[in-house]
Amino acid sequence: MKHLLKMSDLTREELFHILDVADELKADRKAGRPHPYLAGKTVALIFAKASTRTRTSFEVGVYQLGGLGTYLNATTEMQIGRGEPIQDTARVLGRYYDGIMIRTFKQSDVEALAQYSGVPVINGLTDYCHPCQVLADLQTIREFKGGFEGRKACFIGDGNNMANSLIVGCLMAGMSFTAVCPEDYRPAADVLDYAQKFPGKFQLCTDPKEGAVGADVLFTDVWTSMGEEAETEKRRKAFRGYQINEEVLALANPGCMVQHCLPAHRGEEITAEVFEAHAAEIFEEAENRLHAQKAVMAILMGGK
């Protein structure tokens, strides 16, 4: 494993190694045991989009690993925002930093950064995928459910970055998966192709009540993602009914978990009642961003 660019780059062994290290680092932190795998190392944290969880969990995570993280705003502060090519930015940052995390729009920019920088690159979200979030989600599911085999995951909403990474991650981990998306908002074609490698384990449908039946974990995400704000009204209409609510949850298995990457829009993709009833799982998921990303950095840059 040289980078974390998208879930499908990982082998099953690499995925489980990340999850195991994430559990170990979580236990270390809870016990107050130092774990300085990045001692003396530096990580550039590039953001071309807003963030609460990703920015803070990476900054805190690098520090807890003994390294230095530098927050870089790609829109208002870096020369990328004024047109400097990503290839040139990559070749400069690769000479200063031991690794780079980037949140941006185009997946191709993340791939270029990896190609030209010469240091490990971690995808902190693109329009195409969000692998760091899905690693935290899988860590949370394993904590609450004890494992993945024989479990069913269901995603209700936009077939976007979260859906794309969840489909790959959950299938790779051993779960079955149902994606419930409107016809015009399906997951990426290459992700649907990837799912074909798991015969009988993947389903795509348009009815939340059909998809939720027998689920052990229900996921959703915002109807309007970052960068799509101009489509907000159109999307409100297209996604009406694509919501995790009591009625949908009643069709899932008893004890079904609810996961949301956050930020959440109560009354849109999830009701306030369901959100609050499952807040313990949702905020454990948010906490696990810290542990899962520390695991990725410790493996990529700390020899773990």
Strand 121-123's sheet: what is its strand order? Answer: 68-73, 42-47, 99-103, 121-123
Annotated active-site residue 291? The verdict is no
Stretch that binds ligand CP, among 49-57, 75-83, 165-173, 206-214 (CB under 6 A): 49-57
**Which C-beta is closer to ligand NVA: that of 42 or that of 293?**
293
The beta-strand segments (E) located in the chain are: 42-47, 68-73, 99-103, 121-123, 152-156, 176-180, 202-205, 217-220, 257-260
Catalytic residue among 3, 53, 55, 130: 130
C-alpha radius of gyration, the chain, whole number: 19
Catalytic residue among 35, 53, 55, 103: 103
Contact between residue 125 and residue 48 where contact means Cβ atoms under 8 Å apart: no
**Which C-beta is closer to ligand NVA: that of 38 or that of 134?**
134
Catalytic residue among 133, 139, 243, 259: 133
Annotated active-site residue 186? The verdict is no
Tokens 């990303």 belong to 293
With H, G, I as helix, E, B as strand and everything else as coil, classify residue 66: coil
**Which C-beta is closer to ligand CP: that of 5 or that of 94?**
5
Catalytic residue among 132, 170, 221, 293: 221
Q: Out of 133, 164, 259, 271, point to the residue binding ligand CP (CB under 6 A).
A: 133
Closest contact distance (angstroms) between CB of 54 and ligand CP is: 3
Query: For the purposes of burial, counting CB atoms within 10 Å of the CB of 23, is it exposed (0-12), middle (13-18) or buried (19 or more)?
Result: middle
Tokens of 86: 């990503």
Tokens 């993280």 belong to 69
Catalytic residue among 35, 151, 278, 289: 289
Q: What's the rounded Cα separation, in Å, for the pair 18 and 129?
A: 18
Residue 52: which of ligand CP, ligand NVA, none does it interact with, CB under 5 to 8 A by kind? ligand CP
112 near ligand CP, judged by CB under 6 A: no
DSSP 206: S
Residue ranges binding ligand NVA (CB under 6 A) = 125, 160-162, 221-222, 225-226, 261
129 near ligand CP, judged by CB under 6 A: no
Annotated active-site residue 28? The verdict is no
Annotated active-site residue 261? The verdict is yes
Which residues of this protein are in contact with ligand CP, per CB under 6 A? 51-54, 125, 133, 261-262
Known catalytic residues?
103, 130, 133, 221, 261, 289
